[in-house]
Amino acid sequence: MDYSVEIESVSKSFGKKAVLKEISLNIEEGKIYGFIGPSGSGKTTLVKLMVGMDDPDNGTVHVFKEKVPNLGLLQHIGYMAQSDALYLSLTGKENLKFFASLYKMPKSEAAERIAYAADLVQLTADLNKRVSAYSGGMKRRLSLAIALIQNPRLLILDEPTVGIDPELRLNIWNELLRLKNEEGKTIIVTTHVMDEAERCDLIAMIRDGRILANGTPDELKELYQADNFDEVFLNAGRKSHENSRSN
Ligand SMILES: Nc1ncnc2c1ncn2[C@@H]1O[C@H](COP(=O)(O)OP(=O)(O)OP(=O)(O)O)[C@@H](O)[C@H]1O
């Protein structure tokens, strides 16, 4: 089996707080992998380690067999952070052009990619407006377009659909599924939206810096004797609470 991401015994603390505890996980190429867990459980910290934005205290992360951090890998990883990192005084188009210029891409391809990404997130009509005049949802959409700009093999999206209306959310998910099915991309998403979690091929449930369980949506429903994903989430929380009390 080919893995896009291999995480081995990764731990990370901030000061005295252990945020990730001995996490090991392999993410198969060509799958959509979801990370779910309560706020503060360590999802963002874990995805930042995959991108190489932060270092683990212990353990290793490999992406496409290369040890992270590795500058060469950035060409292959599209990352959408939870907080938007955009140039507010530039237009949407200028932002896209700037990020496209960071990657090795002929000009004509950059223009095509900008048109594709803007269309996907329905920003084509607003591309010449300054980002300072964008709404929160428009900024999220622009951040998603930027993550796709270099046509990366691996997409890492930290809560990509927050602030995005249901219709566009559906379009975005359809495109993520197409990217996986037709182009073999690997897609990692963190989400609090349980119906999004159910669209993933595989899900890791994170709690208190550990992976409580991982598997397909059906496997997790069976494990937690749940009919839907809201129940999976709640039952997993109850179970981990009971375990921590009995320890
Ligand atoms: N740079 C930092 N310095 C200190 N503490 C941090 C830092 N980054 C994260 N933390 C802490 O690490 C813990 C995990 O944060 P993280 O952002 O990974 O959680 P999360 O699961 O992504 O949460 P959410 O769902 O709310 O985005 C939190 O307690 C947070 O306060």
How do the domains of the chain map onto residue ranges?
Answer: 3-202, 212-247
Q: Give the residue, out of 16, 21, 36, 44, with the most ligand 1 atoms within 8 A of its beta carbon, to mutate for a pocket test.
A: 44
pLDDT at residue 204 greater than cutoff 70: yes
The per-residue pLDDT for 232 is 86
Confidence of residue 236 (pLDDT cuts 50, 70, 90): confident
Rounded Cα distance, 7 and 46, in Å: 9
CB distance 63 to ligand 1 below 6 Å: no
Q: Which fold has domain 3-202?
A: Rossmann fold (3.40.50)
Spatial separation of the C-alpha atoms in residues 60 and 44, rounded to whole Å: 17
Sorting pLDDT into bands at 50, 70 and 90, what band is 180? very high
pTM of the model: 0.93
- pLDDT for res 79: 95
Q: What is the rounded (10 degree) CA torsion for 174, 179, 180, 183?
A: 150
Residues near 215 by Cβ (< 8 Å), separated by ≥ 6? 202, 203, 223
Average pLDDT over every residue of 169-198:
92
Q: Cα separation of 70 and 32, whole Å?
A: 23
Ligand 1 binding pocket includes 41 (Cβ within 6 Å): yes
* pLDDT, position 247: 61
Average pLDDT over residues 113-129: 94
Please give the Cα distance from 229 to 199 (Å, whole number). 11
What would the mean pLDDT of 103-116 be, rounded to a whole number? 92
Given a cut of 70, whether residue 225 has pLDDT beyond it is: yes
Query: Which pLDDT belongs to residue 246?
Result: 66
Give the 3-state secondary structure of residue 172: helix
50-109 confidence digits (pLDDT tens):
999 999 999 999 999 999 999 999 999 999 998 888 999 999 999 999 999 999 889 999
179: left (phi over 0), alpha (psi -120 to 50) or beta: alpha
Centre of ligand 1 to C-alpha 40, Å, is 5
Region 183-209: mean pLDDT is 93
Pocket test of ligand 1: the residue of 11, 14, 50, 140 to mutate, having most ligand atoms within 8 Å of its CB, is 14
Mean pLDDT confidence for 35-39: 93
Q: Among all chains, which residue has been given the structure tokens 């059906």?
A: 218
pLDDT of residue 194: 85
Q: What is the pLDDT of residue 63?
A: 98
Q: Phi and psi for 138 in degrees, rounded to 5? A: -65, -40
Q: Is 209 in the pocket of ligand 1 (CB under 6 A)?
A: no
Answer with the residue of higher pLDDT: 228 or 149: 149
**Run of H or E including 140:** helix 136-148
pLDDT at residue 230, as a whole number? 86
The rounded distance, in Å, linking the Cα atoms of 95 and 106 is 17
Q: Whose CA is nearest to atom 25 of ligand 1?
A: 39
Is the beta carbon of 184 within 6 A of some atom in ligand 1?
no
Residues 116, 60: Cα–Cα separation, whole Å:
35
DSSP 57: S
Question: Residue 35, class by beta-carbon neighbours within 10 Å (0-12 exposed, 13-18 middle, 19+ buried)?
Answer: buried
Classified as helix, coil or strand, 32 is: strand
* pLDDT, averaged across the chain: 92
